[in-house]
Each structure stands twice: as structure tokens, then as C-alpha cells.
């Protein structure tokens, strides 16, 4: 037989495009259209419905950037359509290739009841099936004219990302607004042909099944009368029935389809628009659930449920009903789909606390899975947090975006820094926007790495990023793929049902140890420095507020601000969303975030000040009390306590022979040369130099920064090829009038200016570096380099509840790929017996490299902290303006010292005048054990909650002393629920069980594994 594949395939495409798809709506009549444009921000529904609408017609322009237009469409169903299915086709001017990225609408009835959302892949509203004829139709559309930021030529700088700079030019041309007859038989034929055509293209050319489908399609096209598609569609479908009925074998790959609409809580749109995106999508999905009995939809992010509850209660009522039926599934158990690299320990824990508690309170649902399809890599402390929140599974897809190394598993156990293992799945479909195309389903089956030992994978199905969700076309395709020869089988299932099956069939999968590093989007650790700084400072202010409010409540009976802290935590958690904290959102988002963080700081400082004044006693007292919020004693003040500071020693600034200055305090001697560079940091007791021979530390370096794509997200390795050392000096002067030894230096470069204060305080082995940058560069990357005379093959970076080790070398492509990585408060490297810590108050990105000394071939190690970038997309003004950073170099530091110094720089003492010293509520007798949170229980019971963890990576015995009367003790999960039966420690081979803690003589004695976190709940007497 002659090979006529290309002939039939070409015929199928043209007949579908030009004859069959247009015949889905064989008759139509135009609707009358009027519009009212709301001034300013979106208005309540009742105001939009009542707005003074004026006529508008298809072909007219509408919609200034970020505006809201209320369309009113009206008409009459023709009498001749009686008995037929009729739909309204409402095209706001959509580009079908941009679902979620352009204009959208929410349709209402005249009484304000929401009907469904409109987007480029979902433009229809059912009027009747069947209609009687003569019905009057009146619908209202709340249409958002969101501008297209990410266009066909992506990453072009645009001012459209901020309402203040976007202008008023209309963005869209109103298209079809019609009543139309819907021919379901033709629509079903379209689905038949698309499924078979797409499957055929994926099958081997020499396989019989491909040719069987080809012949069936050819026969179906023969049965179609191109002049009467509607009259012959049924006959064409009959020609396809046989090939559609051929079942898949039992060995076929099995896909659990989960209805999904990944909605970024902010990205190329502001937070207020996400509120409406969620309403549109959930209105669509609840309607689809009513029409499709097998369909299941899952939505993560408790914040998005809370938005609907607050802003669209009518939609929320439908959501709650569908949740109760088990078909609309709250997934993930987190407040938002957050970044997981940068949030601190407590913030990462609270993502689960607030997310899971919302789902429990609202729906009575406990999530077993963490759901993070789009997060930019996963910190190694996360498995323990997931387990401590009462969950046991993780889903993500993003690691498939890695550019250098292909991850070796799709289903595996992920082991965190403490040994906790979490059953994890990466969908091999390689997208969180699966549309049920043949190519996607075939790719999932081919790509699945566990062939031969497992057969189940998951496909998040529906348009996402900007929302939209699953369409009726996707549901129809899934129905045909439920058991179709040549394809993986598809079944709608909840995430929990999938994970239960996957874990049961593959009980002993391979184990991946350590972070899940995304080999892409590394620059998100640095972009939008003010957002990152706002996050870090908010986290530590929340620690202080909880600590002192709880202490004041116990010591003085002061009221504890439960509701305020709950609200502020949720605000901070929202801004950890994986396009806000990483700095990859439009200008509007980050300008708004700056205002929000300022408000958060003001309110938290008010709470802290009130609690400390209540504790300090008489403000007319003669004592200046220092409140120490850090988890370690300092200045003679206990951790979590307040008292007069004690100090000693001195520091001096001396001129240096060859220019510059020497700072000395008896512990360190720091030489700053005439260029203002640190050329020596000598540890006097260790008789050890810190700075690599012939090198200079605190060296500012600038690189060109123009990645191949994803400007705010990416830094490509070639940026290192060109570097400029900033050694020009405008000013170098000693600072007088303080106990510390300090010098001030000023540099200018390009259009920018840097002012630094280098300080050696009395009695400490630490060089403090305060940096102010007035930054006005474009597409540049600013770093500060610290070449250290340390031979180290690995270094430690702080992460949640511990630290992770990374190689300093690039032996493998996996190590080479980590050329920019994340740390929290410190980076630490050491040789046996001596180490160095570099700590910070608000930066995350860094790189570490090794160099061989020319003099004696000894190895040195350079740590560079990333300070600022200047990408132009999606915010063309990224990072412009004044920034302030604090870093400190601590020679001779152990890992424990690094932990201590990291907390110190982020939690400065507060001075309050009073007459009453404050004893800590809780003390620990082992510095390796850190109290990460001290607060009153969220349920308002007055119980005290203490969370602590082992911070150095070793085993630790600790006595937790209580500075108050306690009558009861429970170890709890993160949600402060008792762990009644602590069974075998998951991830450890030893069979022992963890002992339940006991309260004896006003103290609790604990034995902690490396990096283990424990939450204690204490009942007050």
C-alpha cells in the first residue's frame, strides 16, 4: 500500500480548521452591547451592574491598562431555534494563545449572581439546552483589561507593569458577542478527531495501530459532507467508534488527571487582580463540576480561598458545596505556594500552620500533600517541616526546567538535612498546565523514569499561571483517553488518591538526599533587594513580637495580640509567594510590597515596644535595659531576657604605614589599605590570617548582567567572564566619638555611589560592614568578594532549621550548576580547628569558588555575596535607588559561632529605660540548641509554645529550663496538636522510638538528633 500519511494528515488539519470547527456554531445572531468603564480601581458588583452603560460595537477599542469595564449584553433567542442548545459567545478580543495573560471577564446575571469566567480558551456561556425560543437574554461582564506584559517577543522592557506608568491607551478590540446554536454532535466530532489525530502523530510509523487510526480518520472525513457538516457529523463519528473503543492494555502507563489552575498570587498582575482571577476560575470550575460527574478539581493556596470568601461570597458558597462533595479539593496545605529557598525557619513552618489550619477550620480537611508545582527549587530543610506539619507527600514540576542536569527520578523519597524522608513525585508530563494533548500524554509515558517498577504519574490539567483552569474540551479528551489503545490511560483523581496508589505500588523508591536545586532562575535570590529585605526584617520582627508579647502576658498579665499577629503573619506569608519574594513580579507588586512591609514594621514595632515597656517597669527608672531577642546570651544579657549590658575592652584606629588604617581590639587586627580594601584580618589568639595572600576582602565587583532570557529570574554563568573591581576611592576617614574602631569609605562608579562603614567593636572577633548603595545601574550585577585563606572542599549555608553543605569545587556538572546559591543568615567554611563565617542581615544569593595560591599551591576559598541587580523585565526600574545592607566577617568561627552571629546581626538589642530586669521564660543550657519561636498557643488557651532545633548538625542533650510555673507538657506538631504516639524516627535505620519529653523540677530534658526540630506546648499554672 502506498504511504499516504501526509496526505491524510494534511486533509485532517484543513477540514478541522476550515469546516468542522466552524460548524460547532452553525447559526448566530449578534447581541446588543453597552459598556460602562469604572473609574479607578474595581468597584463592587452592585455598582458595576448599575453603571451608566453606553453603546459599543464589535470592532471598537476598549480597556485602558488595568482598567475595569462593565459590559451589558442583551438579545432575544430566535423562535426558530426552539429545541436546540444555545450559547452566548463572548469574545472580549482574546488571543487564544494567552489564557491567563490578558483580558478576562466574569459573567453575572442581572441579580448579581456569578455565572462563569471568560478567558481566551473559555468564551461561551450556556443559555439553554434546549431553549423554547423567544427567551430574553441579559448578561453583565466584569471585564479586566489587564495588559499583556509577556508578549510574543518576551522579556521586552515595558512600563505597563505599573498603573502609574501604563498610560490610558485602549488595549483590546471587542470581538464576537453573539447568541449561537451549539451543535454538540459536531463538537464531539472535533474531540474525536483531535484525540485520534494527536495520538496518531505519537505512534510509531511501523506500528499497525497508527495505520488503523489513519484509515479510520480517512473514512470519517469521507463521511463528512463539507457543505453539510452538521447533517453528516453523526455518520463521521460512527466511522471512528471502532478505533476509539479499542482498549489500552493493562501494561499502559496510568495518569491521574487532577483538574488544576495554577494561579500565581501575584506576578504579571497585582494582588488585587489575583483576587478576581481566583473568582473567575473557581466560578468556571464549580460550573464544570456540575456538568461533568467524573471531573475532579484541586486548588492550592489557602490565601486564595480566603480571598474568595471575603470578596466573592456567592462563588465561595459554590466552592464550599463542591468541597463537601469531595470533588473540589483544597490541596497543599500552605498559605501560598511560597518560595522555599529564602523563607526563614519559622516562616516556612507557618506557611503550613496557617494553610492547614484554614482548610481544617473551613472544610474539615487535613492535607497529606505539599503542592508546589512552580516553586524555584526546594531547600533541604523542607522535608522535616512537611512532616512536622502532619503531611507526608510532595508534588512539584519545576525541576524539569533545569538546564544542565536531568533529574534522575519522577517518584522518589526526598531526604532532608535531619534524615526525614518525604514521598515525592515530579509529574513526567513536564507541565502544570496540561491540556490533555496527545503529545503531552505520550511525553508523560515515554518520559517516566520509573518504568518497570511503577506505572502511575500525575498530570495537573488546566490553564494556569494567570488562571483559567480545566476546559470542557480537556474533560472530553480525558474521557476518550480513559482506556485507548496506544495511549496512557487517564482517570480523574484527587491528589491524595494518586499518592496513595503511587506509594502502594512503589514502597521502596530511590532516595535523593539534600536540596532540590533548580538549575535555572538563580537570580531570584537577589532581584528586588527591598522586597527581600522587607521579608527578612518582618520575619525577625515577628519573632520579637511573639517573644516579648508572650513574656509580657506571662510576667505582667498583658493581653496577647492574637488577632494582630495572625493577620500580620498571613501578610508576610503572602509576600513569600514564589514570584513576590523572588523578585520576579511587575513593578506594581514590588512598590506595593514596600508599602506593606513598612506598615508591618510599624505595627510590629508598636507591639514590641508596648510589651517591652510593660516588662521594664517604671519608665522613670535610672537603668537602661537591653532586651535580647536572640537565642544566645550577649552583653551579659540572657537570651530572651532584659538587663543592663556589661562590656569591656576597647578598640582603636591607627594609621597604616602604606596608607589606610589599622583597626585593633586585642582579638583581631584589621588592615585597610589606601584603596579602602581589607587586606588583612589577623586572628591574634589563633595566630592566623583570614584574607588570602595578596588578595583583598570586601572587594566590590560589578559584572554585566544580560541573561539569555527571564531577566529578573536568571543569571547565566557567562556573566563571570567580565568583571570590574571597584577600587576607586573618593573618601577614607576614621570615625571618631565611639567605643568602636571604625572607618568610613566612599566610592563612586557609573551613576552610582557606595558608602561603607567598617567597624571593629570592643571584645568581639568580628568585622562589621555596613553598606549603603545609591544604585542607578542598568543590567549590572554587584557583588562583594571575600577571598579567604581557608582550604575547604565544602561550605555550609544556613537553611531552615539547620544548614546545608555544598561543594566548593566543580568536579561534576551537578556541582558546576550551583554557581549561584542561597543562604539565610550565614555562610561558613572551615579547616579542622578554624573557620570563618560571613553573616548578613538581608541578602541571600552568593557564590563560592576555589583558587590555588601561586606561592605554595595552597588552596584558598572566595565567598562572594550578591548585593544588587538591575534587570529591566518585568520591572524596568528594578532595584533603582538607595539600599542598605549589613554584613560581618567572623574569623575563627565555628559553625555554632556562625549561627550565633547570624542571629545577632538580624536581632539587634533594644534599649528601654526602666527599673525591672526581665528573666527569660525559657532557658537552654546547650548553645547548639536554638529556640526558634516562643509564643502563646494559637488557640487562645494561654499555653506557652516553644519551638527549638539542633543547629550545628550534631547530637545534643539539653535542659530546657522554665522561668514560670508549668503544670503540663506535650510535644506537638507545628499546628500545636499533641504527638500522642511518636513512633520510629522516619529516615533513620535504628529501631528506637523517640522518648516523650517529661517535665521534671521545672525543666524539660531532651536529646536531639542533628537538625531535629521539636515543638513543646506547656500548660501554665
How many Cα neighbours within 13 Å face the side chain of 551? 34
How far apart are the two ends of the chain, measured CA to CA in Å?
Answer: 90
How far is 263 from 289, CA to CA, in rounded Å? 19
341, 339, 334, 337: which is closest to 804 by C-alpha?
341
How far is 298 from 319, CA to CA, in rounded Å? 11
Where in 616-716 does DSSP place strands (E)?
623-627, 642-643, 652-655, 661-664, 668-672, 678-683, 688-689, 699-704
How far is 902 from 906, CA to CA, in rounded Å? 7
Residue 381 and residue 968 in contact, taking contact as beta carbons nearer than 8 Å: no
C-alpha cell at 107: 459573567
C-alpha cell at 532: 527581600
Q: How distant, in Å, are the alpha carbons of 139, 561, 839, 842, 973 from that of 903?
A: 58, 24, 9, 12, 24
Residues 6 or more apart in contact with residue 105 via CB below 8 angstroms: 71, 90, 92, 117, 118, 119, 141, 142, 143, 144, 280
97, 41, 44, 34: which is closest to 64 by C-alpha?
41
Residue 172 and residue 61 in contact, taking contact as beta carbons nearer than 8 Å: yes
Question: Strand 741-749 vs strand 821-822: parallel, antiparallel, or unpaired?
Answer: unpaired
C-alpha cell at 861: 576559598
77, 73, 167, 61: which is closest to 123 by C-alpha?
73
Q: Which residues pair with 31 in a beta bridge?
A: none
Residue 307 and residue 337 in contact, taking contact as beta carbons nearer than 8 Å: no
H, E, C per residue of 90-108: ECCCCCCCCCCCCCEEEEE
Judged by DSSP in three states, 137 sits in strand
175, 32, 28, 30: which is closest to 96 by C-alpha?
175
How far is 369 from 394, CA to CA, in rounded Å? 5
Which residue shows C-alpha cell 469566567? 117
Q: Which residues pair with 107 in a beta bridge?
A: 116, 141
Q: Which of 183, 264, 374, 683 is flagged as catalytic?
A: 374
Residue 934 and residue 550 in contact, taking contact as beta carbons nearer than 8 Å: yes
**Main-chain phi, psi angles of 531, to 5 degrees:** -65, -45
Q: Which residues pair with 795 in a beta bridge?
A: 806
Residues 6 or more apart in contact with residue 97 via CB below 8 angstroms: 120
What is the C-alpha radius of gyration for the chain, rounded to an integer number of angstroms? Answer: 31
CA 596 to chain centre: 18
Q: What is the DSSP letter of 697?
A: B
Burial of 341-364, coded b for 16+ CB within 10 Å and e otherwise, reads: bbbbbbbbbbbbbbbbbbbbebbe
494, 478, 453, 9: which is closest to 218 by C-alpha?
9
How far is 846 from 64, CA to CA, in rounded Å? 41
Q: Which residues pair with 746 in a beta bridge?
A: 731, 755
Q: How distant, in Å, are the alpha carbons of 301, 522, 851 from that of 716?
A: 31, 8, 21
User: To which H or E segment does residue 500 belong?
Assistant: helix 495-505
Instruction: Quickly count: other Cβ atoms within 10 Å of residue 408's Cβ.
Output: 9
374 in active site: yes
Residues forming the active site: 374
Amino acid at each position: 500500500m502506498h504511504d499516504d500519511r501526509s496526505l491524510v494528515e494534511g486533509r485532517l488539519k484543513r477540514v478541522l480548521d476550515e469546516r468542522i470547527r466552524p460548524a460547532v456554531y452553525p447559526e448566530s445572531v449578534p447581541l446588543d452591547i453597552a459598556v460602562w468603564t469604572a473609574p479607578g480601581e474595581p468597584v463592587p458588583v452592585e455598582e458595576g451592574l448599575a453603571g451608566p452603560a453606553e453603546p459599543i460595537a464589535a470592532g471598537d477599542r476598549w480597556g485602558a491598562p488595568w482598567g475595569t469595564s462593565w459590559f451589558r449584553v442583551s438579545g432575544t433567542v430566535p423562535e426558530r431555534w426552539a429545541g436546540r442548545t444555545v450559547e452566548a459567545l463572548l469574545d472580549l478580543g482574546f488571543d487564544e494563545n494567552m489564557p491567563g495573560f490578558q483580558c478576562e471577564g466574569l459573567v453575572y446575571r442581572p441579580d448579581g449572581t456569578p455565572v462563569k469566567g471568560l478567558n481566551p480558551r473559555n468564551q461561551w456561556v450556556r443559555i439553554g439546552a434546549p431553549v423554547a425560543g423567544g427567551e430574553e437574554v441579559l448578561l453583565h461582564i466584569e471585564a479586566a483589561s489587564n495588559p499583556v506584559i509577556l508578549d510574543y517577543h518576551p522579556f521586552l522592557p515595558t512600563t505597563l507593569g505599573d498603573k502609574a506608568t501604563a498610560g490610558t491607551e485602549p488595549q483590546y478590540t471587542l470581538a464576537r458577542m453573539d447568541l449561537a446554536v451549539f451543535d454538540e454532535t459536531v463538537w464531539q466530532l472535533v474531540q474525536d478527531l483531535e484525540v485520534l489525530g494527536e495520538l496518531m502523530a505519537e505512534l510509531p510509523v511501523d506500528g499497525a495501530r497508527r495505520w488503523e487510526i489513519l484509515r479510520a480518520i480517512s473514512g470519517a472525513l469521507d463521511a463528512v459532507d463539507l457543505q453539510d457538516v452538521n447533517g453528516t457529523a453523526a455518520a463521521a463519528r460512527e466511522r471512528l467508534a471502532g478505533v476509539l473503543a479499542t482498549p489500552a492494555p493493562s501494561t499502559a502507563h496510568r495518569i491521574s488527571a487532577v483538574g488544576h489552575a495554577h494561579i500565581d498570587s501575584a506576578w504579571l498582575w497585582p494582588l488585587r487582580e489575583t483576587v478576581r482571577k481566583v473568582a473567575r476560575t473557581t466560578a468556571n470550575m464549580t460550573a464544570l463540576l456540575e456538568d461533568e460527574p467524573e471531573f475532579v478539581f484541586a486548588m492550592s493556596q489557602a490565601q486564595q480561598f480566603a480571598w474568595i470568601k471575603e470578596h466573592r461570597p456567592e462563588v465561595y458558597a459554590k466552592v464550599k458545596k463542591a468541597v463537601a462533595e469531595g470533588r473540589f479539593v483544597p490541596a497543599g496545605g500552605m498559605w501560598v505556594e511560597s518560595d522555599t529557598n529564602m523563607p526563614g525557619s519559622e516562616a516556612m513552618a507557618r506557611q503550613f500552620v496557617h494553610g492547614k489550619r484554614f482548610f481544617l477550620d473551613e472544610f474539615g480537611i487535613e492535607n497529606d500533600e505539599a503542592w508546589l508545582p512552580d516553586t524555584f527549587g526546594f531547600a533541604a530543610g523542607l522535608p522535616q517541616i512537611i512532616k512536622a506539619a502532619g503531611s507526608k507527600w510532595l508534588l512539584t514540576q519545576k525541576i524539569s526546567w533545569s538546564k544542565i542536569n536531568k533529574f534522575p527520578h519522577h517518584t522518589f523519597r526526598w531526604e532532608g538535612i535531619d534524615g526525614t524522608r518525604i514521598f515525592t513525585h515530579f509529574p513526567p508530563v513536564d507541565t502544570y498546565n496540561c491540556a490533555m494533548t496527545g503529545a503531552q500524554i505520550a511525553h508523560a509515558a515515554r518520559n517516566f523514569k520509573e518504568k518497570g517498577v511503577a506505572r502511575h504519574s500525575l498530570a495537573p490539567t488546566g490553564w494556569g499561571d494567570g488562571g483559567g483552569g480545566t476546559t470542557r474540551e480537556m474533560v472530553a479528551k480525558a474521557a476518550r483517553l480513559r482506556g485507548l489503545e496506544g495511549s496512557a490511560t487517564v482517570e480523574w483523581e484527587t491528589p491524595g488518591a494518586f499518592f496513595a496508589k503511587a506509594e502502594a505500588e512503589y514502597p521502596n523508591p530511590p532516595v535523593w538526599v539534600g536540596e532540590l536545586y533548580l538549575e535555572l532562575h538563580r537570580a531570584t535570590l537577589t532581584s528586588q533587594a527591598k522586597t527581600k529585605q522587607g521579608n527578612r526584617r518582618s520575619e525577625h520582627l515577628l519573632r520579637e513580637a511573639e517573644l516579648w508579647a508572650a513574656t509580657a502576658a506571662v510576667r505582667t498579665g498583658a493581653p496577647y495580640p492574637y488577632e494582630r499577629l495572625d493577620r500580620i503573619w498571613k501578610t508576610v506569608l503572602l509576600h513569600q509567594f514564589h514570584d513576590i519574594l523572588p523578585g520576579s513580579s511587575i513593578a506594581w507588586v514590588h512598590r506595593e510590597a514596600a508599602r506593606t512591609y513598612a506598615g508591618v514594621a510599624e505595627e510590629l514595632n508598636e507591639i514590641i515596644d508596648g510589651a517591652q515597656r510593660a516588662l521594664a517597669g517604671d519608665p522613670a527608672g535610672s537603668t537602661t535595659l537591653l532586651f535580647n531577642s536572640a537565642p544566645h546570651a550577649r552583653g551579659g544579657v540572657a537570651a530572651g531576657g532584659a538587663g543592663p549590658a556589661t562590656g569591656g575592652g576597647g578598640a582603636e584606629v591607627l594609621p597604616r604605614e602604606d596608607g589606610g588604617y589599622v583597626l585593633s581590639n586585642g582579638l583581631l587586627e584589621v588592615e585597610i589599605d589606601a584603596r579602602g580594601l581589607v587586606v588583612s584580618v589577623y586572628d591574634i589568639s589563633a595566630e592566623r590570617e583570614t584574607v588570602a595572600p595578596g588578595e583583598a576582602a570586601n572587594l566590590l565587583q560589578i559584572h554585566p548582567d544580560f541573561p539569555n532570557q527571564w531577566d529578573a529570574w536568571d543569571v547565566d554563568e557567562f556573566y563571570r567572564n567580565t568583571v570590574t573591581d571597584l577600587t576607586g576611592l573618593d573618601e577614607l576617614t576614621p570615625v571618631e566619638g565611639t567605643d568602636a574602631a571604625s572607618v568610613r569609605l566612599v566610592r563612586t562608579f557609573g551613576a552610582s555611589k557606595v558608602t561603607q562603614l567598617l567597624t571593629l567593636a570592643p571584645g568581639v572577633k568580628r568585622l562589621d560592614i555596613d553598606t549603603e548603595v545609591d544604585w542607578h545601574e542598568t543590567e549590572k550585577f554587584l557583588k562583594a568578594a571575600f577571598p579567604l585563606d581557608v582550604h575547604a572542599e565544602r561550605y555550609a549555608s544556613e537553611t531552615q532549621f539547620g544548614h546545608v553543605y555544598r561543594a566548593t569545587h566543580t568536579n561534576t556538572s551537578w556541582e558546576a550548576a550551583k554557581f549561584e546559591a542561597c543562604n539565610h543568615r550565614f555562610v561558613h567554611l572551615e579547616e579542622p580547628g578554624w573557620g570563618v563565617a560571613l553573616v548578613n542581615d538581608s541578602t541571600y544569593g552568593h557564590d563560592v569558588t576555589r583558587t590555588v595560591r601561586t606561592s605554595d599551591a595552597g588552596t584558598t576559598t572566595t565567598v562572594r555575596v550578591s548585593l544588587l541587580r538591575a534587570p529591566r523585565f518585568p520591572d524596568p526600574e528594578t532595584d533603582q535607588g538607595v539600599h542598605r545592607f549589613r554584613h560581618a566577617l567572623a574569623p575563627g568561627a565555628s559553625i555554632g559561632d556562625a549561627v550565633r552571629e547570624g542571629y545577632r546581626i538580624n536581632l539587634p538589642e533594644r534599649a528601654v529605660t526602666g527599673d525591672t530586669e526581665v528573666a527569660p521564660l525559657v532557658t537552654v543550657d546547650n548553645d547548639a540548641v536554638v529556640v526558634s519561636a516562643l509564643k502563646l498557643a494559637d488557640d487562645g488557651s494561654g499555653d506557652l509554645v516553644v519551638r527549638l532545633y539542633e543547629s550545628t548538625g550534631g547530637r545534643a542533650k539539653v535542659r530546657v529550663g522554665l522561668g514560670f510555673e508549668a503544670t503540663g507538657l506535650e510535644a506537638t506538631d507545628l499546628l500545636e496538636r499533641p504527638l500522642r504516639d511518636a513512633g520510629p524516627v522516619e529516615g533513620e535505620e535504628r529501631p528506637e522510638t523517640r522518648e516523650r519529653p517529661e517535665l521534671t523540677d521545672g525543666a524539660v530534658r531532651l536529646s536531639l538528633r542533628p537538625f531535629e526540630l521539636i515543638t513543646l506546648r506547656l500548660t501554665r499554672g
